[in-house]
Amino acid sequence: MATQSTVKTSSASSEYSEGSIRVLKGLEPVKQRPGMYTRTDNPLHIIQEVLDNAADEALAGYGKKIKVILHADGSVSIEDDGRGIPFGLHPEENAPVIELVFTRLHAGGKFDKGKGGAYSFSGGLHGVGVSVTNALSKRLEATSYREGQVATLVFSGGDVTEPLVKRATGEGDRKQGTTVRAWPDAKYFESSALPMNELTHLLRSKAVLMPGVTVTLVNEKTKETQQWQYKAGLRDYLTQTLNGDPVIPLFEGEGFADGNSESFAEGEGASWAVAFTEDGAPVRESYVNLIPTSAGGTHDSGLRDGLFTAVKSFIELHGLLPKGVKLMPEDVFARASYVLSAKVLDPQFQGQIKERLNSRDAVRLVSSFVRPALELWLNEHVDYGKKLAELAIKAAQTRQKAGQKVEKRKSSGVAVLPGKLTDCESKDILHNEVFLVEGDSAGGSAKMGRNKESQAILPLRGKVLNTWEVDRDRLFANNEIHDISVAIGVDPHGPNDNPDMSNLRYGKVCILSDADVDGSHIQVLLLTLFFRHFPKLIEAGHLYVARPPLFRVDAPARGKKPASKAYALDEGELTAIIDKLRKDGVKEGGWSISRFKGLGEMSAEQLWDTTLNPDTRRLLPIELGPLDNAGTENLMTQLMGKGEAAARRELMELHGDSIEIDV
C-alpha cells in the first residue's frame, strides 16, 4: 500500500533513541572536561581551591594558621586551624557532610549568605571548589578535627575508597581544623609540577590580606621552610614590591558599608594601598574575599574610577589643566601601582577559576569609598596633589601626541608606492638611482631624459617641511616626506637605531634642485630631513646631491673645431670656460651665455647631458664633515632650530662676507 513507510531503521550502532542520552553523574563531568572547571596547564588551581577554604576560615575569624606541605612523593597537604569540616550525616542526603563536600559539584557552606551563614564573605558561589580537586586527584585524604573527634576519609579519582573513620582526639592531635592531602593526577595536566613562583606569591598574598595570620610553606624535597606574616598588611607589601620610587607618599585607606547603607550589605567594601611612580613597571594586584583576581575586574574599575574622579576634581579646583589637554582615566591610572582587597557579599566571577570579578555593583562599591578619601587627602596635601596632577597631565599629553602618530598609507599590508613616482625597471640597487626633483616641470624633463632602466624620478611640490624639530611619529602627516620614505623603502629612524635596510629600493638617493637660492634652500631642507630622520642612509653612503649647471656657453666654430656648447656650475666655472675660448682664438663676444632660471627650462636632452648621465654629470656624495655626529647636530640646531634666530644672526655676522651669493 502507498501509505506504508519505506524508511528503514538504521543499525543499532548509530541509533539515536532514549538510550543514547548519557547522564554524567557525580564528578564525571569534571573528569570528561577538566578545562571547563579548572586550569589544566598545572595543578596549582586545584590546590588553590583547598587553600581558599582554609583562608575563608581565617577570614571568618576562626583560624590563625595555614600550612602548605609539598611532600617528596608529589602530594600536597594544606592544614588550617579553623573549625574543621562537619562530618555528621546530612539531614537530606543521608551521607557524611564531609563526603558531600568532596564529591558533589554544588555542595558547600558558602551559599547561605548573611545572618546565620557560616561565611559572610567567601571566594565565590560556584560551589565546585574542592570537589574538582578530588575529581582530578589519584588520591585525596581529608581529615577533620572538631568537637573532640578526628574523622578521616580517603578518595581516589573522586570516589570514596576508604569510608569515614572517626576516633576521639589524642594527645598529639589538634583541637580543631582541617587537613587535606591530595595527589594530583598527572594525566589531566600538561605539567604535573607546581609553579613555585606562583605558589609562593599566592601564599604571601594570603598573609598580606589577612594581617596577623601566619602562612607557612614546607618543601620536603629541599628541606626549606618559608613563613609569612604581615602585621601592617597592604602598605608593607606594596612598598616591598614597588618598581621605582613613589612620586608622592602612599595613599592607603579602607571603607566598609555599615548597617545603615541602602546600597550595600554590611561589611562590603575595600581596603587599598596606591603608589604613583614615574618609571618602572606598575605593580597591580587585586583580590576579592582573598581570591586573587589576576585578570582584574569590576573592583579594579572602581578603584580606577575613584582615583580618576578625585584627581580630575582636584585639577579642576586648582585650574591646573593646560588648554587643549583632555584628561582620561588612563592618564591617572597609567603610573599607579596598587594592592586592592575588596569584600563583596555575593561575588560573581568570570569562569570557574575566578580570575576576573564580574559583579557590576563592585565598581560603585569601591569607587564610593576611594573617591572621597582621595579628594580629602589631596586637598589636605596640596603640594602632593599638584605633583600627582603634573604626572597625570604629562601622561595625557604623551597619549595625545601618540594618538597623532601618522602611519604609512598601506594597501593589503604593503606600503603603496606614491603615484607620482616614475620608477625604474631594474631592481638592482647597486645601479638603481632615485632623483628627488624640485618641481613638476623639472620632473617632466627628468622623466623624459632619464635612463629608464636604472633611474627613477620623484617630483616634489613646493618647499619641503623643515623637519629638524618634528616628532618622528608625525613625519608621515606631510605628504612629501611620506612619499620619500615609501619610495626609498626605509622608515624614519634615529642615529642609534638599527632600521631595516633590506627594503632599500635604490643604491643612490640624489637630491636634484635648481642651481639658485631657492634650490639651495630646498637642498638644505632635504639634507636636514635625511640627517635628522634617515641618518643611516648617509652613514651607508646612499645620499648624493646632483649639481645642475647655472650657465650654458655656446661657442661658434673655430678653425677645425665645430660649434660647441659648455656648461658651468657657477660664476667661477663660467670665467674659466670663457678664458679657454679666448685662448682658442674666439673673438671677444663671439660666444653667447645663457643662464638657466631653473631645471624646468632645460630640455630632456640637456638635463641628461648635464645632470643625469653618469659619464658627464656632477654628483656629490653626502657625508659628515670635519665635525662628528654630535658637533654636526649642534651646528644644524643653530641653522635649523626654531628658537635659534639669535645664533643664526651671529653666524651670518661672522661668516656672511665669505659667501658670494646671487640673490
Q: What is the 3-state secondary structure (H, E, C) of 152-171?
A: EEEEECCEEEEEEEEEECCC
Show the cell assigned to 245: 620610587
Angle between helices 298-317 and 361-380 (to 10 degrees): 30
- To the question of whether residue 127 is assigned a binding role by annotation, the answer is yes
pLDDT value of position 112: 45
Which domains are present in the chain? 28-228 (3.30.565.10), 234-403 (3.30.230.10), 410-547 (3.40.50.670)
Catalytic residue among 81, 438, 483, 609: 438
Query: Which of 346, 81, 308, 124 has the alpha carbon at shortest distance from 210?
Result: 81
20 pLDDT above the threshold of 50 = no
Confidence of residue 407 (pLDDT cuts 50, 70, 90): low
85 pLDDT above the threshold of 90 = yes
Contact 52, 130 (CB under 8 A): no
Show the cell assigned to 141: 585524604
- To the question of whether residue 506 is assigned a binding role by annotation, the answer is no
Position 627: which residue type? Answer: L
Report the sign of the C-alpha dihedral through residues 357, 362, 363, 367, in that order: negative
- To the question of whether residue 125 is assigned a binding role by annotation, the answer is yes
Mean pLDDT, range 489-515, rounded to an integer: 93
- Whole-angstrom distance, CA of residue 592 vs CA of residue 658: 30
For the chain, give the mean pLDDT: 86
| H/E segment holding residue 137 | strand 137-146
Catalytic residue among 516, 570, 601, 633: 516
Put simply, whether the predicted model's pTM sits higher than 0.95 gets the answer no
300 is catalytic: no
Show the cell assigned to 30: 569534571
- To the question of whether residue 354 is assigned a binding role by annotation, the answer is yes
Position 640: which residue type? Answer: M
Distances (CA, A) of 612 to 270, 409, 434, 617, 622: 75, 30, 11, 6, 17
- The pLDDT tens digits of the residues spanning 541-570 come to 999 999 999 999 999 987 777 788 889 988
Distances (CA, A) of 642 to 339, 470, 512, 636, 656: 46, 11, 26, 11, 20
- The pLDDT tens digits of the residues spanning 559-618 come to 777 788 889 988 889 999 999 888 888 888 889 999 988 888 888 999 998 999 998 898
Contact 398, 337 (CB under 8 A): no
- To the question of whether residue 62 is assigned a binding role by annotation, the answer is no
Please report how many Cα atoms fall inside a 13 Å half-sphere around the Cα of residue 111, on the Cβ side: 9
Compute the chain's Rg from CA coordinates. 40
- To the question of whether residue 494 is assigned a binding role by annotation, the answer is no
Catalytic residue among 254, 518, 570, 633: 518
- To the question of whether residue 619 is assigned a binding role by annotation, the answer is no
Catalytic residue among 56, 433, 483, 514: 514
Position 301: which residue type? Answer: S
> Between residues 649 and 403, which one has the greater pLDDT?
649
- Angle at 181 (CA atoms; ends 176, 187), nearest 5 degrees: 155
173 is catalytic: no
pLDDT value of position 426: 86
| H/E segment holding residue 242 | none
> Between residues 540 and 414, which one has the greater pLDDT?
540
Q: Could you give the 3-state DSSP secondary structure of residue 296?
A: coil
Show the cell assigned to 253: 585607606
Please report how many Cα atoms fall inside a 13 Å half-sphere around the Cα of residue 520, on the Cβ side: 7
Confidence of residue 405 (pLDDT cuts 50, 70, 90): low
- SS3 letters across 98-124: HHHHHHCCCCCCCCCCCCCCCCCCCCC
Contact 174, 63 (CB under 8 A): no
- To the question of whether residue 124 is assigned a binding role by annotation, the answer is yes
Backbone angles phi, psi at 214, to 5 degrees: -95, 125
End-to-end CA distance of the chain: 112
Angle between helices 645-655 and 629-640 (to 10 degrees): 100
Q: Could you give the 3-state DSSP secondary structure of residue 506?
A: coil
- To the question of whether residue 16 is assigned a binding role by annotation, the answer is yes
Q: Could you give the 3-state DSSP secondary structure of residue 254?
A: strand
302 pLDDT above the threshold of 80 = yes
Query: Which of 629, 83, 126 has the alpha carbon at shortest distance from 358?
Result: 126
Confidence of residue 212 (pLDDT cuts 50, 70, 90): confident
513's torsion region: left (phi>0), alpha (psi -120 to 50) or beta? beta
Could you give the strand order of the β-sheet that contains 269-276, starting from the edge strand earlier in sequence?
Answer: 251-256, 269-276, 336-343, 284-288, 291-292
511 pLDDT above the threshold of 60 = yes
Report the sign of the C-alpha dihedral through residues 324, 330, 335, 340, in that order: positive
Please report how many Cα atoms fall inside a 13 Å half-sphere around the Cα of residue 284, on the Cβ side: 18
Q: What is the DSSP letter of 609?
A: I
- The pLDDT tens digits of the residues spanning 45-56 come to 999 999 988 988
Q: Could you give the 3-state DSSP secondary structure of residue 68?
A: strand
- To the question of whether residue 61 is assigned a binding role by annotation, the answer is no
- To the question of whether residue 130 is assigned a binding role by annotation, the answer is yes
Contact 547, 618 (CB under 8 A): yes
- SS3 letters across 183-240: EECHHHCCCCCCCHHHHHHHHHHHHHHCCCCEEEEEECCCCEEEEECCCCCHHHHHHH
Instruction: Count the Cβ atoms, other than its own, within 10 Å of residue 229.
Output: 15
In degrees to the nearest 10, what's the CA dihedral of 466, 469, 471, 474?
Answer: -20
516 is catalytic: yes
Position 655: which residue type? Answer: H
pLDDT value of position 386: 96
